[in-house]
Amino acid sequence: MVERARIILACLEGKEIQQVAKDLDSSIPTVSKWRKRFGQQGLSGLRDEPRSGKPPTYNVAFRDRVLALLEQPPPAGLSHWDGPTVATTLKASVHAVWRVLRKEGIYLQRLRTWCVSTDPEFAPKAAEVVGLYLNPPLNALVLSVDEKPSIQAIQRPSGYVETNTGAVVRAMKSTYKRNGTLNLFAALEIASGHIHAQMTEQKKRQDFRQFLDAVIAELPTDKEIHVILDNYCTHKRNEDWLAKYEGRVQFHFTPTSASWLNQVEIWFGLLTRKSLRGASFANKDQLRTAIQAFVTRTNDHPKPFHWRKREVKGSQLRNTIVNLCN
């Protein structure tokens, strides 16, 4: 742009084309070209015109080949495709393959799971449970109850290390020792977020009933109690126990394969991430103490969960990548 500007300024001074080319160490055709372009288009004529450029090596056809290959079974010995394998199969650059995958938003190493209930009564059962969350009955308490079985007291040293990139990360020793397991029963008060918990060595029906007896004993006697449960065997066949409370306690079961409708599962997830994962327990007593401390921490500042689960539809699932990308 500087050279072209100097050419135009020299021409505007009245110099001949040959003289301008000589003074600026340029060629006569170059001076003539930009003088003509400036005369026809003004300053905009000094800019480069669009060029076709080098034909792309990896075009739309290559993108389609990558997507089509991902629909095929991976080579023998592999469970899924990855970038280098796709590149080798297509005899292409692995960087070109990765560019296609990034542009299409395809992450071959990531996994997501889904759970779609096949219960024919899913709609009414789910409506009953969600209705208790969003519009609980008057003068009633709603409890979300479940158990987290076989929590392992794992003993494993941990600390911090610096990686070769300079990042500091949590580190755990690869070997560990198992020091027994505990079973945790928990009941979440939907309205307040308060947790009732009890740890046992087993998870039999009798343990389940004893836990509920202890919870009910702590609740006001003038309120109905609605208990949300999944379809685990110990939760069933408790009619004789329910008769003891003369209709004060009612059980509401989530649809089959839809335990995610039970809000206490959210609290179990928090317990796992914040208190159990990465911890080290020399014995079951230490594990019991850690769980109880997390229960106490929750109850010191309880907060109810706001129900905002997305509706799960079968149409969200696609059996091919092409259907998602086109």
Per-residue pLDDT band at 315 (split at 50, 70, 90) = very low
Same domain, residue pair 40 and 80:
no
Of the candidates 150, 162, 143, 114, the residue with the CA atom closest to the CA atom of residue 276:
150
Residue 6 lies in a domain: yes
Length of the chain: 326
pLDDT at residue number 318: 61
Residue 238 lies in a domain: yes
Question: Mean pLDDT across the stretch 146-167?
Answer: 91
Same domain, residue pair 211 and 242:
yes
Same domain, residue pair 261 and 183:
yes
Same domain, residue pair 23 and 141:
no
Same domain, residue pair 214 and 295:
yes
pLDDT at residue number 119: 85
Q: Which residues contact 287 (CB under 8 A, 6 or more apart)?
A: 151, 153, 179, 182, 281
pLDDT at residue number 257: 86
Number of domains in the chain: 3
Distance from chain centroid for Cα 172: 24
pLDDT at residue number 312: 46
pLDDT at residue number 324: 66
Flag whether pLDDT at 310 surpasses 70: no
Residues forming a β-bridge with 171: 159
Residue 153 lies in a domain: yes
Q: Percent of the chain having pLDDT more than 90?
A: 66
pLDDT at residue number 90: 94
Q: Dig out the tokens for 132 from the structure.
A: 């208790």
Same domain, residue pair 258 and 227:
yes
Residue 311 lies in a domain: no
Q: What's the pLDDT tens digit per position in 5-49?
A: 999 999 999 999 999 999 999 999 999 999 999 999 888 888 888
Same domain, residue pair 41 and 66:
no
Q: Within the chain, where are the H helices? A: 2-12, 17-23, 28-41, 60-70, 83-90, 94-104, 122-134, 205-218, 239-243, 264-271, 284-300, 321-325
- Domain containing 257 equals 122-300
Q: pTM for the whole thing?
A: 0.68
Same domain, residue pair 194 and 234:
yes
Per-residue pLDDT band at 258 (split at 50, 70, 90) = confident
Same domain, residue pair 279 and 198:
yes
CA angle 94, 88, 90 (to 5 degrees): 90
Torsion over CA: 135, 147, 111, 318 (sign): negative
* Domain at 179, CATH number: 3.30.420.10
pLDDT at residue number 314: 44
Flag whether pLDDT at 319 surpasses 70: no
CA distances in angstroms from 28 to 32, 35, 107, 154, listed in the order given: 6, 11, 56, 83
Question: Mean pLDDT across the stretch 113-128?
Answer: 84
